[in-house]
């Protein structure tokens, strides 16, 4: 691991802004366009195994999809298969067949059930661990940590027949105790969102439905995370960048 980019998607599909206030649903045609652009520009999408081996070519990308939405299975998987692109999906062991109730703003999105997980595995995707029930792990009690790390990993292994190797913190949220729990449970890598701390909190770049061709391309720049941090500290720069590069329209 080193120079690889790690992109974080959530669901694939088309939803209204009212239904999807966090812009988590990337329309399938946008996903197709983004992946084609990566392939055309010589990027190599990685399996988790290739990512963990760490001997990837310089333009390599790990595509990750969080939460395990049924809409990802229905509308994202066909695009990945069409383009023969590997991806890693992070599912919630305690919410298989359930709904996105941890988000009061969008509580009703169905999540894949056990059979859906098997279909993802059979399609060649890496199905990995996103915890038990989307609890915040930073500052939590030991029971919540055990349920969301050790128990979640065991349940997923029983379902897939494989030991999970990668963890994605719910909300990207972690602290020293959470990172230690994930390492002790045998995971080989864990992903955060913005805050990176070594191998057990590797940051990712989030892709949403308001990304344009230009912002998507910028998000693959090596300097993008640093630019993002900088603009976060300078609101004027951030709003200036936004008005310059625009955002994709929502319906
Ligand atoms: Zn999540």
**CATH value at residue 181:** 3.20.20.370
CA of 214 to the centre of ligand 1 (A): 25
The answer as to whether 250 is a domain residue is no
Q: pLDDT digits over 137-193, tens only?
A: 999 999 999 999 999 999 999 999 999 999 999 999 999 999 999 999 999 999 999
CA of 227 to the centre of ligand 1 (A): 24
CA of 131 to the centre of ligand 1 (A): 9
CA of 23 to the centre of ligand 1 (A): 13
Measured between alpha carbons, how far apart are the two ends of the chain, in Å?
38
> pLDDT class for 31, splitting at 50, 70, 90?
very high
Write down the mean pLDDT value for the chain. Answer: 93
CA of 170 to the centre of ligand 1 (A): 5
Structural domain of 17:
5-245
The answer as to whether 251 is a domain residue is no
> pLDDT class for 55, splitting at 50, 70, 90?
confident
Q: What is the mean pLDDT of residues 198-218?
A: 95
Domain tally, the chain = 1
The answer as to whether 137 is a domain residue is yes
- Phi/psi for 159 (5° steps) reads -75, -45
CA distances to 52, 133, 173 from 86, rounded to whole Å, are: 14, 26, 26
The answer as to whether 46 is a domain residue is yes
The answer as to whether 62 is a domain residue is yes
């Amino acid at each position: 691991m080193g120079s690889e980019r790690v992109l974080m998607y959530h669901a694939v599909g088309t939803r209204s802004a009212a239904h999807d206030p966090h812009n988590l649903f990337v329309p399938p045609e946008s996903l197709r366009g983004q992946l084609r652009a990566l392939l055309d520009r010589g990027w190599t999408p990685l399996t988790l195994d290739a990512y963990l081996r760490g001997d990837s070519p310089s333009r390599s990308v790990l595509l990750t999809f969080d939460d395990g939405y049924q809409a990802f299975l229905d509308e994202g998987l066909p695009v990945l298969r069409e383009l023969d692109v590997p991806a890693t999906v992070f599912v919630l062991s305690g919410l298989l067949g359930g709904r996105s109730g941890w988000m009061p703003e969008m509580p009703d999105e169905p999540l894949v059930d056990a059979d859906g997980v098997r279909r993802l595995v059979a399609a060649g995707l890496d199905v990995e661990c996103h915890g038990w029930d989307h609890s915040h792990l930073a500052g939590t009690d030991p029971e919540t940590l055990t349920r969301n790390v050790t128990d979640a990993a065991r349940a997923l292994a029983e379902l897939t027949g494989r030991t999970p190797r990668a963890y994605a913190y719910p909300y990207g949220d972690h602290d020293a105790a959470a990172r230690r729990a994930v390492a002790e449970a045998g995971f080989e890598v864990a992903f955060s969102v913005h805050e990176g701390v070594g191998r057990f909190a590797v940051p990712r770049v989030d892709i949403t439905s308001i990304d344009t061709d230009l912002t998507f391309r910028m998000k693959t720049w090596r300097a993008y995370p640093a630019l993002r941090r900088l603009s976060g500290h300078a609101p004027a720069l951030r709003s200036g960048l936004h008005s310059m590069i625009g955002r994709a329209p929502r319906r």
